[in-house]
């Protein structure tokens, strides 16, 4: 599933392609992908809206329009590709929504699993609760002090679950969370309140570096992530634990484990990330 770096890669690629363009009449091949408003209203309201800017918060893409907002969330398998030809589709079977522009070309929304969605709203009305309650964006809005304070106000939460909680920090998913915890040598089940100031620093630095690097390498193309121009990212080549079950840890040679934390599959090195390494408290 695309996480903060992948969505940021899409944003950076798309903005120069679609900025200032005006939407024409959308085509809903799968109306269920439009979460708000009703499909007919969506088709009525979007034409004539000009894209003022393209922003990102957490894993949401936010098109600031001349009238309101268009939000897109890719969830598991969503993809948003710009095509000069409009509807010429590399994957017609999973094409759900076509958003053509008056100037020519179109944004095509593909979604194999259909968990992703689009919201068009004049203001806050109709926007998903997950967006309205989104915590600060880990790439742009969280400095070290704020990070420490947020950990401090969720002392009993397990690190893995806390980092995935989009209401506390927005942007991380399974891949970047597991990689950050490995790089800072923290067990995913450690309670947030058990970290020493040094460990908090190390985790914060690991997250910041990973997000920057993920963006620089064009994202992580596991399963089928592609940028907005259908280019693959290469960050998957730099993963240390995610998806490496039973393979040797690159630091110590111990086989990588896959466990479940808070219902989520989690990869770690049991030697580099011991569960009971810290003073309690």
Q: Judged by CB, which is closer to Zn ion: 236, or 254?
A: 254
Return the residues of window 211-230 that contact Zn ion according to CB under 5 A: none
**Of 249, 256, 261, 268, which lies in the binding site for Zn ion, with binding defined by CB under 5 A?**
249
**Of 251, 255, 265, 277, which lies in the binding site for Zn ion, with binding defined by CB under 5 A?**
251
Q: Judged by CB, which is closer to Zn ion: 71, or 269?
A: 269
Question: What is the residue whose two structure tokens read 């094409």?
Answer: 95
Question: Which listed range, 12-20, 77-85, 92-100, 243-251, lies at the site for Zn ion (CB under 5 A)?
Answer: 243-251
Question: Which listed range, 28-36, 161-169, 170-178, 251-259, lies at the site for Zn ion (CB under 5 A)?
Answer: 251-259
2 given a catalytic annotation: yes
> Cβ-closest residue to Zn ion?
249
272 binds Zn ion (CB under 5 A): yes
264 binds Zn ion (CB under 5 A): no
Q: Which one is catalytic: 21, 45, 57, 59?
A: 59
8 given a catalytic annotation: no
Question: Which listed range, 29-37, 58-66, 233-241, 271-279, lies at the site for Zn ion (CB under 5 A)?
Answer: 271-279
CB atoms within 10 A of CB 23: 24
What H or E segment, with its residue span, contains residue 65? strand 60-65
How near is the Cβ of 251 to Zn ion at its closest, in Å?
4
How near is the Cβ of 249 to Zn ion at its closest, in Å?
3
269 binds Zn ion (CB under 5 A): yes
**Of 252, 255, 260, 275, which lies in the binding site for Zn ion, with binding defined by CB under 5 A?**
252
CB 274 within 8 A of CB 254: no
264 given a catalytic annotation: yes
CB 160 within 8 A of CB 181: yes
Please, where are the H alpha helices in the chain? Answer: 4-18, 39-45, 129-132, 144-152, 159-164, 174-183, 197-216
DSSP 231-245: PPP-GGGG-SSTT-T
- In the chain the first and final C-alpha atoms are separated, in Å, by 35
Reading the block at residue 212, the tokens are 């920057």
Helix axis angle, 197-216 to 144-152, nearest 10°: 120
CA distance 224 to 119: 23
Q: Which one is catalytic: 12, 75, 213, 264?
A: 264
271 binds Zn ion (CB under 5 A): yes
3 given a catalytic annotation: yes
Buried-exposed string 86-113: b where 16+ CB fall within 10 A, e elsewhere = beebeeeebbbbbbbbeeebbbbbbbbe
Question: Which residues make up the interface to Zn ion (CB under 5 A)?
Answer: 249, 251-252, 254, 269, 271-272
The catalytic residues are 2-3, 59, 264
């Amino acid at each position: 599933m695309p996480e903060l770096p992948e969505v940021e890669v899409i944003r950076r690629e798309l903005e120069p392609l679609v900025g200032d363009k005006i939407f024409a009449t959308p085509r809903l091949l799968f109306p269920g992908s439009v979460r708000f408003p009703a499909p007919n209203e969506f088709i009525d309201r979007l034409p004539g809206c000009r894209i003022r800017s393209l922003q990102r918060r957490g894993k949401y893409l936010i098109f600031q329009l001349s009238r309101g907002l268009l939000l897109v969330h890719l969830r598991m398998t969503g993809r948003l590709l710009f095509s000069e030809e409009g509807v010429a589709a590399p994957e017609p079977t999973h094409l759900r929504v076509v958003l053509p522009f008056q100037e020519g070309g179109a944004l095509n929304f593909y979604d194999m699993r259909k968990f992703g969605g689009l919201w068009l709203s004049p203001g806050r009305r109709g926007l998903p609760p997950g967006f309205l309650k989104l915590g600060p964006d880990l790439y742009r809005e969280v400095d070290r002090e704020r990070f420490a304070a947020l950990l401090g106000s969720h002392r009993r939460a397990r690190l893995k679950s806390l980092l995935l909680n989009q209401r506390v920090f927005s942007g991380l998913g399974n891949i970047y969370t597991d990689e950050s915890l490995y790089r800072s040598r923290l067990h995913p089940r450690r309670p947030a309140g058990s970290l020493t100031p040094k460990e908090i620093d190390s985790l914060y630095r690991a997250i910041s570096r990973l997000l920057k690097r993920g963006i620089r390498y064009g994202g992580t193309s596991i399963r089928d992530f592609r940028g907005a121009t259908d280019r693959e990212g290469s960050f998957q080549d730099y993963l240390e634990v995610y998806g490496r079950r039973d393979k040797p840890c690159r630091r110590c040679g111990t086989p990588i484990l896959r466990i479940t934390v808070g219902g989520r599959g989690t990869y770690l090195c049991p030697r580099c990330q011991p569960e009971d390494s810290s003073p309690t408290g």
